């Protein structure tokens, strides 16, 4: 099986691009080991807050680029975002509930890179990094109402003896 995402490599610079955006290809353990080292140095709460803001911003920017370049509508862009994350190896995302009018939803994640690599953290929720991905994409879908207004929580994780992770998200709901 070949990757489902198009990869364009610039002959001169060697820069890889997918969907018009520059990409970096690296081993999964490299990313996860760095993630765990920063978490250990900063503490999970501080690191989670930093990641949430940064990944939400990145999700919004990616979605905006797709609308510009592919002319997708907001909901198609939201769904395409999770399809591309899946195709790029982060895990297999599924948009299981999306209630735009009710401003909430639920996403499943199987084979998350963090559940597969973070073996030493059995019994812990380790996929909190994706909360920012989800809040940013949902913020985009709602018209960029501000990712900080979106509450997203990993309600269970594959490291807690579940067969997948589950994220619930909504606007204006306190955790």
Q: Residues 113-159: pLDDT tens digits?
A: 999 987 666 778 899 999 999 999 999 999 976 657 899 999 999 98
Q: Which band of pLDDT confidence, cut at 50, 70 and 90, is reported for residue 21?
A: confident
20 confidence band (pLDDT: 50, 70, 90): confident
Most confident of the ranges 4-13, 106-115, 146-155? 106-115
Q: What CA–CA distance (Å, rounded) separates 42 from 57?
A: 21
Residue 174: the pLDDT is: 46
Mean pLDDT for the stretch of residues 9-31 = 90
Q: Measure the CA–CA gap between 62 and 56, rounded to whole angstroms.
A: 10
CA 131 to chain centre: 7
- Residue 81: pLDDT band (50, 70, 90) is very high
CA–centroid distance for 41 within its chain: 22
pLDDT at 175: 43
Percentage of the chain lying above the pLDDT 90 cut: 73
The overall average pLDDT reported for the chain is 91
Query: b/e string for 35-65 if b means 16 or more Cβ within 10 A?
Result: bbeebeeeeeeebbeebbeebbeebbebbee
- pLDDT band of 103, cuts 50, 70, 90: very high
Residue 14 has pLDDT above 80, yes or no: yes
At residue 123, what are phi and psi to the nearest 5 degrees? Answer: 85, -5
Q: Which residue has the tokens 């990869």?
A: 7
Kindly list the domain boundaries of the chain, sorted by start residue.
27-171
Write down the architecture of domain 27-171 according to CATH: 2-Layer Sandwich (3.30)
Residue 122, judged by CB atoms within 10 A of its CB (0-12, 13-18, 19+), counts as exposed
């Amino acid at each position: 099986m070949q990757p489902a995402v198009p990869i364009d490599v610039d002959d001169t610079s060697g820069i890889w691009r997918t969907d018009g955006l520059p990409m970096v290809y690296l081993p999964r353990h490299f990313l996860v080991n760095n993630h765990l080292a920063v978490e250990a140095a900063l503490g999970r709460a501080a690191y989670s807050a930093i990641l949430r803001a940064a990944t939400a911003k990145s999700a919004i920017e990616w979605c905006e680029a797709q609308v510009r370049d592919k002319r997708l509508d907001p909901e198609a862009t939201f769904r395409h975002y999770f399809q591309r994350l899946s195709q790029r190896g982060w895990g297999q995302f599924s948009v299981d509930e999306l209630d735009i009018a009710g401003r909430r939803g639920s996403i499943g994640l199987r084979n998350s890179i963090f559940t597969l690599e973070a073996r030493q953290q059995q019994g812990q929720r380790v996929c909190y990094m994706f909360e920012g991905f989800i809040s940013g994409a949902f913020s985009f879908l709602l018209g960029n109402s501000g990712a900080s207004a979106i509450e997203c929580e990993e309600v269970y994780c594959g490291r807690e003896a579940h067969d997948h992770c589950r994220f619930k998200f909504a606007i204006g709901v306190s955790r």
